[in-house]
Amino acid sequence: MDHPNSWTNETQYINSPFVAIYRSKIKRIHTYNQKGLASINSEDYLRTLISRQGKISCKDFIEVCLYGKNGYYTHTRKEKNAYFKDYATSPLTHPLFGYLISIFLDKLIQSFNTKNEVKIFEFGAGNGTLAYDITNGLKAIGQRNYKYIAIDRSESKSIFPVIKEVDNYPKSESIIISNELFDAIPHHLFSVQNGEIFEKYVEIKNEKFIESFDAPSDSCIKNRLKKNSTNLTNADGEVVCKEYKIT
């Protein structure tokens, strides 16, 4: 299947914002084994994976760059003071950020008008800074009717208990919060041209990463688009599907 816009078929990574952004993450990572020798990095792994499969989806490309064995989040979060380098987001600027949110959460918990414990789920909790500040704020306010559950898929030196997976909790009064989460979720990129749906892939040509378009790798892409719009003729965007496993 050929994408109607021929210029997109062989866009080199230096002119491709998508590939350039994620590739820049892994280029800065240098890992060493116990003997001091450089181990395989994410870019080497990507080249091997693409050579074996011919091309990979953007979702898989993001997954390796950010969450692979030597991925950006996986690796750099283990470095000393990592959260004061690339991870200096709002919760790290001052505890007041979390305390202000705790005031809102207190009002929200009260609005449930229940004696049952209200669960607060934070997805993408990182090292637990926001969770730590929010729970301290709720404690200062005198709010006790809650359980705070911090979740993050990458391990780090946490100052608050952070779990990697969520069990199937029974239905209950719950609140879900997150801080800068959605831009770090691996996703498929698509393009609709004249009503036909294409997916963006990453290939290698002349030793360089390039983008290409082909038929969608996951049926959920078409299903999501058809569910949201029946008259979509020309559009570009992203779709998040449930499966994240790279084969």
pLDDT computed for residue 8 by the predictor: 41
* Digitized pLDDT (tens) for each residue of the chain, 247 residues in all: 554 443 343 333 334 566 766 666 665 554 444 444 445 567 888 888 899 999 999 999 988 888 887 777 776 666 655 555 555 778 888 999 999 999 999 999 999 999 999 999 999 998 899 999 999 999 999 999 999 999 998 777 788 999 988 777 788 899 999 998 887 888 999 999 888 999 999 999 888 888 999 999 999 998 888 887 767 788 888 888 875 444 3
Q: What is the DSSP string of the chain?
A: ---S-GGGTTEEGGG-HHHHHHHHHHHT---B-TTSPBPP-HHHHHHHHHHHHS-EEHHHHHHHHHHSTT-HHHHHTTSTTGGGTTT--HHHH-THHHHHHHHHHHHHHHHT--SSPEEEEEES-TTSHHHHHHHHHHHHHT--SEEEEEE-SS----SS-EES----PPS--EEEEESS-GGGS--EEEEEETTEEEEEEEEEETTEEEEEEES-SSHHHHHHHHHH-SS--SEEEEE--S-----
Give residue for tokens 């993450």: 25
- The pLDDT value given to residue 70: 74
Q: What was the pLDDT predicted at 13?
A: 37
Which residues make beta-bridge pairs with 214?
199
Residue 201: predicted pLDDT: 94
Residue found by looking up tokens 């283990």 in the block: 78
Quick one: pLDDT at residue 234? 84
pTM of the model: 0.72
